[in-house]
Amino acid sequence: MRRWLAMALALLLGTACGDARYTPIPGTTIRIEQPIPDSDKEYELQIFASEEECDEARIHPDDWHLCLPHVDRASGEVRLGYRFIAGEMHVGMAEHEELMEVQFQGTTVSDGKNGQEIKIIPHEPFSGGGTLYVLLIDGSGSMSEVDRRSGDSRMKQVKKALRQPEVIDAFFPGGDTDNAVMLLQFTQGKPVPVGGRLIALTNKNEYKQAVRELQVLNGYTHLFKAIKYATGPLLDEDAVKAAVAGDKRSVTVVALTDGFNNISAADTCKDNVPRLKVLLDHLANVRESDVRTRPTLHTVGLGKPIRPGFEPPRGMEPPRATTICGRRNVDTRIDGDLETRGIDNASLRLIARAGGGTAHIKRGKKGLAEAFLAAAAPKYRWFEVRYRMDPFFLRRKFKSRLSLVGVGTAGATIQIHPSAWLDAPPGRLMEDGWHMEESYLRTFLVVMPLFAAFIGLSYIGAALHNTRRMLFGRVKRRAKTPPADAGEGTAG
Amino acid sequence: MNIFLLPYTWLRHFGMALWCASAGLMAWWAVLTGLVVLNLDWPPGWDGPILMTTISVTVAVASILGEANLRRLPLWSRGLKVLFAAGISGLITVLYYMLWHGVMGLLLDGSSLIDAQDPSLVSLSYRMGAFGMGGLGCGTGCLVVRKFSEPVSHLAGGLAAGLLGGVGWYVAGLPTDEVVFGVVAPQKDLFLAGATLGVTWGFSFGLMAWSIPDELYVGWLRVLTPRRFGRRIPIDAPDRKAKERFVGHFPRGLDLFLPVEDGVQELHLSVVVDDRQRYTARGLSQQPTMVKRLLQSVDLRYDPRRPTPVETPLSSGDRIVLGQGEQRAELEFILLPKEEV
């Protein structure tokens, strides 16, 4: 009771100076509490909470409406703008829709479930620094096998994919982005640089020349060792250090294979499990290093997956033979048997996840090009996440949580307070199926017609009264006889 | 609000309702503009009190100002009344609102209390009291300014207006596609819900709290037959005391002269108004004297066997026919705004 009395007194005193806890969002009736980024994550995920923060992030004022939080309660849509910060530095990030988990009041929002939908829209390419792409191409004997459909060998398909103009443009986009590529091949032992020398290719011509020199080297596929090398000792090579130039360029490793990790002729699928564990442990250590200098690892599998529909188990539990190979293939030999049936997509998925990247299992030149394009995806300065809920759930204060996993860890929580009593005009449906905030001027479409109707209706009584009197002859004189004037009364 | 636009028909009561509905609409619009465009910074918990108080104050001011306009009060008087109404209804609405929430805090506990105190929760059950208190504050403000006349209609009307506004707000914003009561198809739109709140509240309050009083009108007798067509006399005395007006062809001393050629006797009819502004027609002649209204004719011919003349209450629009056939005069009784006197 005392609290309510205090609130009443505060109200009576007219201390309309707001509450520092809440920030009103222009153009809406919502207030937000200051977002709380997770402090124990690799990146700080900054959810923009005010125009000042959007301005500070150098977002153009025309885009501030996308940068600021927005809730459209008619359609059930919520929009939040955010960016990533490492240390004190703003960092760019590639598209990460699959790696972002959105929670609403502690429940994960799932695409397609109960009308829920999530979309992450990147904004403004990040032009700070560049990327050193280390392409680790399988050179084992199986790469010489010819595809029946295209008539090209696997190696030729890889070369064609790498020479696609859009792939080359992705590696060398020009402008402020200063990328470089290192091309390595692996079979047995340590991967070798294409051309014999470890050099960073910094222009398209050098790159095209190096791709031409890719060839089948023969031998077994020491994939795990090659990846371990590319994400470890290779980074200490002088040429790589020079190419990274301190931390101006981040490192992205793309490992391509057409089969299984295969050390010897007698290897079975289950033999790979302890080797995979060693690699995953190594990658886990790599992920714990400085977020600005550690490599990101993508894997590309060329061929048919041996375990279609494989989904990595949640958490970081050690891999098991049945998980990797499937029960029937645990003791199956790789060389000449499993390798001819498909590729080890399960291991590639686990490796990519541990390396903070994504796995792409593709067939043919076009599919490979897509995989390289995805691996060389540009980075963006900031993003907006949009999600759609049943509008019913947006009718009270709610917490929204964003969590990034994979490419790095980051998270932030924001508490949103929509007004129970008032709402701005509902959003306008755009071509992409999402709603964009409607102008305040739309309120005139409600106020003006209603106001006009009230004014018009206020004349109805007088109009009906006079019409009725006219119809019943009370107004018009019935004959032309002039009235006699006797003095009393008034004419009317 | 203009008395000349409000003829004495049942529709006149909607005049004040429409006026107050406009005020309610404007109040909602003003608060929305403050929040959305001016980005006024107040905590979410103040949305309710501010919206309730704004609508309450605006509707109360509209009601008081509307009455003052109808009565053509001096501008300074209108201004004072408006300020008084705004201050009283604003303060009382805030107090009622806080009182209600204080009581809620005592009555509820656990999750119900959390829900009731969540200023973002769209809920009719937890907001109903707030709407009711807002309406009550609005009615109380007007009641005080009107010197406690018609307390029941002000308080009950105010309470009902607030509650109806809340129901309108809720139905317009229902989060469902279902049709309610087979009539209303909700828009799931909390934007229109706010507009519905203001309009419903204002309209209901204007309709229920204060009706346009008869004292703003004056009864007239007006000639409808060609001879002396349009001649009219007011029935009421300037001091609003009881008065009787006489109609006949006696040339002197009567209030309304009608020619004998029209079948009117020397002293044919009188119309009486009492101190409660009830109008009555009395037949003073044995010649035909009829009061005609929809589906009804009353014969007022004087019966010498009776000690008093025959009389009938008059209402606006009644016709009085004196004489019959070719020799007859016709009058109408009509209530016109007092300003015309």
Residue A69 and residue A90 in one domain: yes
> CA A260, CA B183: separation in Å to the nearest integer?
67
CB contact under 8 A, B175 and A392: yes
pLDDT digits (tens, 9 = 90+) for A318-370: 788 888 888 888 888 888 788 888 888 889 988 988 887 888 888 878 888 88
**A148-162, A197-211, A235-249 — which is least confidently predicted?**
A235-249
pLDDT digits (tens, 9 = 90+) for B198-254: 999 999 999 999 988 888 899 999 998 888 888 888 998 888 888 999 999 887 878
pLDDT digits (tens, 9 = 90+) for B251-285: 787 888 888 888 888 889 999 999 888 999 999 99
CATH of the domain at A304: 3.40.50.410
pLDDT digits (tens, 9 = 90+) for A140-190: 888 888 877 778 888 888 888 888 888 888 888 777 777 889 999 998 888
Residue A392 and residue A428 in one domain: yes
What range defines the domain where residue A456 resides?
Answer: 444-479
Residue A490 lies in a domain: no
Q: What is the mean pLDDT of residues A472-490?
A: 60
Backbone angle region of A487, left / alpha / beta, with phi > 0 → left and psi within -120 to 50 → alpha: left
Percentage helix, strand, coil for chain A under 3-state DSSP, each rounded to 5: 35, 25, 40
pLDDT (0 to 100) of residue A440: 87
pLDDT (0 to 100) of residue A489: 57
pLDDT (0 to 100) of residue A15: 44
Consecutive H or E run containing A239: helix A238-244
pLDDT (0 to 100) of residue A127: 64
Give me the percent of chain B exceeding a pLDDT of 70. 96
Residue A147 and residue A94 in one domain: no
CA distances B236 to B243, B245, B276, B277, B316, Å, are: 6, 9, 11, 8, 14
A406 lies within 8 A of chain B by CB: no
CB contact under 8 A, A417 and B119: yes
Residue A485 lies in a domain: no
> CA B269, CA B254: separation in Å to the nearest integer?
10
Residue A488 lies in a domain: no
Residue A484 has pLDDT above 70, yes or no: no
Among A409, A424, A439, residue at a domain's last position? A439
Cβ burial A115-135 (10 Å sphere, 16+ → b, else e): ebbbbbbbbbebeebbbbbbb
Residue A9 has pLDDT above 60, yes or no: no
Tell me which of B19, B42, B211 to substitute to probe the interface with A (most A C-beta atoms closer than 10 Å): B42
> CA B43, CA B61: separation in Å to the nearest integer?
26
Residue A55 and residue A27 in one domain: yes
Q: Closest partner residue to A74 among B188, B225, B226, by Cβ?
A: B188
Q: Compute the nearest-CA separation of B251 from chain A (Å).
A: 8
> CA A192, CA A185: separation in Å to the nearest integer?
5
Residue A327 and residue A178 in one domain: yes
Residue A46 and residue A150 in one domain: no
Give me the percent of chain B exceeding a pLDDT of 90. 47
Q: Closest partner residue to B226 among A390, A391, A478, by Cβ?
A: A478
The chain-wide mean pLDDT, for chain B, equals 89
- Contacts with B, A 295-334, CB within 8 Å: none
CB contact under 8 A, A478 and B251: no
> CA A114, CA B141: separation in Å to the nearest integer?
49
What pLDDT band is residue A384 in, cutting at 50, 70 and 90? Answer: very high
The chain-wide mean pLDDT, for chain A, equals 83
pLDDT (0 to 100) of residue B179: 64
Q: Closest partner residue to B43 among A18, A74, A483, by Cβ?
A: A18
Residue A6 has pLDDT above 60, yes or no: no
Q: Compute the nearest-CA separation of B86 from chain A (Å).
A: 14
Give me the percent of chain A exceeding a pLDDT of 70. 90
Taking a C-beta distance cutoff of 8 angstroms, is the pair B244, B308 a contact? no
CB contact under 8 A, A73 and B190: yes
> CA A216, CA A138: separation in Å to the nearest integer?
8
The distance of Cα A16 from the centroid of its chain, to the nearest Å, equals 40
Q: Closest partner residue to A422 among B35, B224, B254, by Cβ?
A: B35
Question: Which residues face A361 on adjacent strands?
Answer: A301
CB contact under 8 A, B195 and A447: yes
Among A329, A344, A377, residue at a domain's last position? A377
Q: Closest partner residue to B226 among A27, A481, A486, by Cβ?
A: A481
Residue B43 has pLDDT above 90, yes or no: no
Q: Compute the nearest-CA separation of A463 from chain B (Å).
A: 9
Cβ contacts of residue A338 below 8 Å, gap of 6+?
A260, A269, A306, A325, A329, A332, A344
pLDDT (0 to 100) of residue A129: 65
In chain B, the residue whose alpha carbon lies closest to the alpha carbon of A2 is: B102
Cβ atoms within 10 A of the Cβ of A316, count?
12
Give the count of Cβ contacts less than 8 A between chain A and B.
Answer: 224
Taking a C-beta distance cutoff of 8 angstroms, is the pair A282, A231 a contact? yes
Quick one: tokens of B220? 């007239």
In chain B, the residue whose alpha carbon lies closest to the alpha carbon of A391 is: B175
Quick one: tokens of A136? 């680790």
Residue A274 lies in a domain: yes
Tell me which of A50, A77, A421, A459 to substitute to probe the interface with B (most B C-beta atoms closer than 10 Å): A421
Give me the percent of chain A exceeding a pLDDT of 90. 17
For the whole model, what pTM was predicted? 0.77
CB contact under 8 A, A396 and B44: no
pLDDT digits (tens, 9 = 90+) for A63-82: 998 999 999 988 889 999 99
- Nearest Cα to Cα of residue A355 among A240, A259, A227: A227
CB contact under 8 A, B222 and A19: no
Give chain B positions within 8 Å (CB) of A28.
36
Taking a C-beta distance cutoff of 8 angstroms, is the pair B320, B332 a contact? yes
Taking a C-beta distance cutoff of 8 angstroms, is the pair A9, A15 a contact? no
pLDDT (0 to 100) of residue B114: 85
Structural domain tally of chain A?
3
Range from A256-265, B87-96, B102-111 that averages highest in pLDDT: B87-96
* Strands B243-248, B256-257: pairing kind: parallel
Residue A208 lies in a domain: yes
pLDDT (0 to 100) of residue A71: 92
Consecutive H or E run containing B161: helix B151-172
Q: Closest partner residue to A489 among B18, B19, B256, by Cβ?
A: B256
Q: What is the mean pLDDT of residues A406-431?
A: 88
Q: Amino acid letter at B340?
A: E
In chain B, the residue whose alpha carbon lies closest to the alpha carbon of A453 is: B18
Residue A15 and residue A101 in one domain: yes
Give chain A positions within 8 Å (CB) of B190.
73-74, 395, 422-423
DSSP-based three-state secondary structure for A209? helix
Residue A217 and residue A329 in one domain: yes
Give chain A positions within 8 Å (CB) of B122.
395-396, 420
DSSP-based three-state secondary structure for B163? helix
Q: Closest partner residue to B102 among A1, A26, A457, by Cβ?
A: A1
Residue A391 lies in a domain: yes
Q: Closest partner residue to A16 among B28, B42, B118, by Cβ?
A: B42
Give chain B positions within 8 Å (CB) of A17.
41
CB contact under 8 A, B189 and A27: no
pLDDT digits (tens, 9 = 90+) for B283-317: 999 999 999 988 899 999 988 898 889 999 999 88
Cβ contacts of residue A254 below 8 Å, gap of 6+?
A133, A134, A135, A136, A297, A298, A299, A300, A372, A375, A376
Q: Amino acid letter at A15?
A: T
Residue A468 lies in a domain: yes
Q: What is the ipTM of this complex?
A: 0.85
Q: Amino acid letter at B154?
A: H
Residue A252 and residue A283 in one domain: yes
Read out DSSP for A360-397? EEE-HHHHHHHHHHHHTPPPEEEEEEEEE--GGGGSS-
Residue B1 has pLDDT above 70, yes or no: yes
| Residue found by looking up tokens 């990247």 in the block | A357
Residue A240 and residue A361 in one domain: yes
Quick one: tokens of A372? 């390289």
Residue A332 and residue A415 in one domain: no
Q: Compute the nearest-CA separation of A23 from chain B (Å).
A: 8
Q: What is the mean pLDDT of residues A378-395?
A: 88
| Residue found by looking up tokens 């402090």 in the block | A39
In chain A, the residue whose alpha carbon lies closest to the alpha carbon of B22 is: A451
**How many Å is the Cα radius of gyration of chain B?**
27
Residue A484 lies in a domain: no
pLDDT (0 to 100) of residue A19: 65
Residue A269 has pLDDT above 80, yes or no: yes
Residue A69 and residue A169 in one domain: no
